[in-house]
Chain A
């Protein structure tokens, strides 16, 4: 067993997942490539969204990849940190909004 579950070198091996299931792997990477092409959103905007999502799913590979991609597409540190704060706001908000449910229950149970 390896010392660590995550190894930085594994990011470069992402494409190797095709080895065990080529057809689905190909479909995924074709789709993935097309998602990140310039469209209604610029590549920079997509990189920042991916960076925010990477923090939400807490994937170290994705954080590595989309920090680089954000830098390469011309995002500033300020924009990148704002993206992470969007993640934080949504994650925190998702917990806090359940406080309403708690309040409802408190009111249901209280005299």
Chain B
């Protein structure tokens, strides 16, 4: 499988994606504006509650090409954060009270400055989360990373869409499940995911298809039971994440004829409590080139942060950013459906 960009698909264009989720069919045309739903509950314009999480997308390069990827990441993507941009991030974090630095990609481990940055930022006393696809940790070049993570107290949050080979491999490619289990075992061996070690190992579950995630606690219970039973693998928490109708998941919805039903499902499941807790309210997203966004999804849609605040990490200004209006569009229904969805799982 290739990225949409490599295939020169029209869906690689964020404008085309926004056009589809706003106007693709009569049913989609009838869907209320997300802004109106927020207005109904006095949340429009959507404002930040403060920056708790500093999320950095350090590049779109990845060793995998998953069917649902909202980044359209893959081996051929060459957008990579430079050391200069990393340094701007360190400058912004230095003296800031932001506690958590969340590293995502692509496969963030593939950035050549990854280890240097983790050392620097953890030495500042920041809590570092790395979003790992797991399979990268089984490759010769990167299989030493779990030890490095342990040394720097990095929290590892891994993608594992399901506790079965069938469903995991369908979404992420043949052989993924086996490699993921191998990586989880290596992490467990170091103490990750085990009680009282303080080494956090979390899993991210996202539905393998056009349906919503169910109750996070119940799915976590199932994962724990099945991974323990089948592989003697343990982990700390499971985060359920709803697939947003953008990029490759949007491509799947279109090709499978599920787009209208999926959009209707998201809208029908709109939950005011989830809207209160959306992650863009306490997160700032830094793009590979230093551009600022309200979240990683907006980043992929090239919806830059409000023009009334700073646009680039080199000009980081927390007060100004905390006063911005958060940019929204119809894809945001994905984060407000049901129990809510964020990089940290359900929000209610």
Contact = CB atoms under 8 A, between A and B. Distances in A.
Interface of A: 38, 42-44, 68, 71-74, 76-78
A29 B74 CA distance: 47
Contacts of B143: none
Contacts of A68: 211
Interface residues of B, number: 18
B167 A76 contact: yes
Interface of B: 162-164, 166-167, 205, 207, 209, 211-215, 218-219, 222-223, 226
A70 B212 CA distance: 11
13 contacts: A42-B218, A44-B218, A44-B222, A71-B211, A72-B207, A72-B212, A72-B213, A73-B214, A73-B215, A76-B226, A77-B164, A77-B166, A78-B166
A74 B167 contact: no
A74 B164 contact: no
Going nearest first, the 10 A-B pairs with the smallest beta carbon separation are A74-B219, A73-B214, A72-B214, A74-B222, A76-B164, A71-B211, A72-B211, A68-B211, A74-B214, A77-B166
Contacts of B219: 73-74
Given A68-B211, A71-B207, A71-B209, A78 B164 contact: yes
Quick one: which of B164, B205, B213, B215 has the most chain A CB within 10 A?
A: B215
A43 B218 contact: yes
Quick one: which of B205, B223, B226 has the most chain A CB within 10 A?
A: B226
Contacts of B166: 76-78
B167 A77 contact: yes
Contacts of B222: 44, 74
A43 to B, nearest CB: 6
A71 to B, nearest CB: 5
Contacts of A42: 218
Contacts of B214: 43-44, 72-74
A73 B216 CA distance: 9
Contacts of B226: 76
Contacts of B162: 76
B173 to A, nearest CB: 18
Nearest to A44: B218
A76 B207 CA distance: 11
A9 B207 CA distance: 23
Contacts of B223: 74
Given A74-B222, A77-B164, 7 more contacts: A43-B218, A71-B211, A72-B213, A76-B167, A76-B226, A78-B164, A78-B166
A77 B207 CA distance: 13
A74 B211 contact: no
B223 to A, nearest CB: 8
A68 B258 CA distance: 13
A60 B218 CA distance: 27
Contact of B163 (A71, A72, A76): A76
A71 B212 CA distance: 9
A27 B167 CA distance: 38
Nearest to A9: B261
Contacts of B209: 71
Contacts of A44: 214, 218, 222
Contacts of B163: 76
A74 B212 contact: no
